[in-house]
Structure 1
Amino acid sequence: MKELVTVIVPILEPQINPTEEKLLHHALQILSDYQFIFVAGEGADLSVVREHAENIDVVHFPKRYFESRQHFGQLLLMADFYEHFNWCDFLLIHELNSWVVKDELHYWCKQGYDYIKAGPVLADPDKTPGILKRITGLSEEEKRVYGAGYADNGLYLCRIERMTATLKGKKSVAHQYRHNADIPNADSVFWHLEANRFLSHLRKPTDIVRSHFAQFGVQYDNAATSPFALTGISRDNIHEIPYFKNLPETE
């Protein structure tokens, strides 16, 4: 029988900073019931990671995919990446810019979705592409604007079988996105705009449901009902996010 879900934590070059260490330490604590696998470039120095979890499972991929977030996004547009973990049903990709508020991982795996991720934060929300625009396709400039809205948005839950099937079914389009260096966070743009264009490949939640899964930390207002996770967290903004100001010192 397959495992339900595995948590994947990518470690990009160079070494992780103190804020990322804080996010990593918290993830290992709150999701301690699940298996963690770290993905890193060949020959990566993981000594800081081992300070938080001595016996870690690591899967290495070519070093070029860990030189930056843009390079890592290329790996997330390859079927081989997801197939590498096909002994489980779901992957929670947990980049070190996200914070799990409460352990609802099992719950979200059972909701029937194939791909769940917080939507982008656009400088002009009125420019969010509508249904017709998504069908006809975005211009290169529109894709760049849309991709920029996914900066530091590195947490998503996905069903491996459907991700690989989508990439194989849209091999040519995925290849174009993978090699387009002008689109920031091209993987997120592909999964949000291209995966279900013309034909539905992935079951994705509505915007309201998605907001219960994850929200950007800078937008979260400490409401009575908290999401599963916060994302968009960096060393530049963590001290300005109200949620973190209210945490006990032990966090």
Structure 2
Amino acid sequence: MDSSCVIVIPIYKSELSFYEKIALAQCGKLLSDYDIVILKPDDLDISNMQIGFSYSEVSFPSFYFKSVFSYNDLMLSELFYEKFLNYSYLLIYQLDAFVFKNELKYWCGLGYDYIGAPWLREKEFPTLFKKTKEKLRSYLHRRYNLLDKQGRPDIERQLYNYVGNGGFSLRKVKSFYNVCIQEKELVENYVGRNSSDYHEDMFWTIEVNRKKKRIKTPNYKEALNFSIETAPERAMTLIKGNMPFGCHAWDKNIHFWQPYFKEAGYQI
């Protein structure tokens, strides 16, 4: 087994959907050279679930799995990262993710603290002036957390071409653990928030780096080779038709991904 990285698969229910079974099978097919951990509620028994590969279990109190917001709290807890300090990296592999090839060692070797699918715009701006203007506005919104007309952070503008989504993401364990310990006040501002403005990947990609660089990430064009989520057609064009390491939320773009999944042996 390669001990440089552990695969962490959150499972919170006893019955998986057809698509979730595909995601799980592909993980075992391509990434079984690594330790695989099922992250689950402590009251969930998965012994009768047909996993199809060797794995171990890590359990946390069930309240962390009741909603996306409580799960966010777990992803912001040093107790979670403490479980994996024996590894350099962990790969969060939610069951709406899919891997096309085993490039995990390559991505771990680049030394980034965090990599996830960038929030790519559907279309490029029509002029260089417009692109430059919007890039500056996005920077200012990220840097100063500027509010929109409703008095809320303009999340869409902050996320513009930024890295990246947490559902299929590579995380340097020690870096995340240290931030949870050293930046408790910053973390606490996100814990217990029932709002999409405070998702954990927002914290790790924007909030933690708002005033100074704490978490090292690639630029969005490099990250597209790691994973694609939004605007898949444009994303594939930007990486010149090469297959990324994986993708996330592929069930939202079924028609686009169908031929690629068929090539991998799955009908969706």
Classify the TM-score, shorter chain.
Answer: 0.7 to 0.9
- C-alpha distance in 2, partners of 1:24/1:121? 26
Q: Residue 238 of structure 1 is aligned with which of 254, 258, 265?
A: 254
Gaps of 5+ in 2: 126-133
Letter in 2 for 1:82: Y
Q: 1:179 to 1:97 in 2, by over 3 A?
A: same
What is the aligned partner in structure 1 of residue 95 from structure 2?
96
1:177 shift after superposition: 1.1
Contact 2:180 2:187 in 1 (8 A): yes
Q: 1:38 to 1:185 in 2, by over 3 A?
A: farther
Q: 1:150 to 1:189 in 2, by over 3 A?
A: same
1:43 shift after superposition: 1.7
Contact 1:143 1:183 in 2 (8 A): no
What is the aligned partner in structure 2 of residue 162 from structure 1?
175
Gaps of 5+ in 1: none
Letter in 1 for 2:218: P
* Higher mean displacement: 116-125 or 207-216: 116-125
- Give the number of the structure whose alpha-carbon radius of gyration is greater: 2
1:120 shift after superposition: 2.4
Residue-by-residue CA offset, 1:4-51 (whole Å, 9 max, x unaligned): 100000002363211101110110111111110001001213256434
What is the aligned partner in structure 2 of residue 224 from structure 1?
241
Contact 1:151 1:232 in 2 (8 A): no
- C-alpha distance in 1, partners of 2:123/2:153? 14
Letter in 1 for 2:74: L
Runs of 4+ in 1 over 4 A off after TM superposition: 121-129, 144-147, 149-153, 220-223, 248-251
Letter in 2 for 1:233: W
Q: 1:151 to 1:190 in 2, by over 3 A?
A: closer
Letter in 2 for 1:230: C
Root-mean-square deviation (CA, aligned residues, Å) is: 3.0
User: What SS does structure 2 have at the residue aligned with 1:35?
Assistant: strand
Letter in 2 for 1:142: D
- C-alpha distance in 2, partners of 1:65/1:144? 26
What is the aligned partner in structure 2 of residue 17 from structure 1?
17
Contact 1:120 1:146 in 2 (8 A): no
Number of equivalent positions: 247
- C-alpha distance in 1, partners of 2:92/2:21? 16
Q: TM-score, normalised by structure 2?
A: 0.80
Q: 1:249 to 1:52 in 2, by over 3 A?
A: same
Q: 1:158 to 1:245 in 2, by over 3 A?
A: closer
Contact 2:14 2:46 in 1 (8 A): no
Identity percentage over the alignment? 23
User: What SS does structure 2 have at the residue aligned with 1:73?
Assistant: helix
1:104 shift after superposition: 0.4
What is the aligned partner in structure 2 of residue 56 from structure 1?
55
Matched, 1:33 2:33: yes
Letter in 2 for 1:57: S
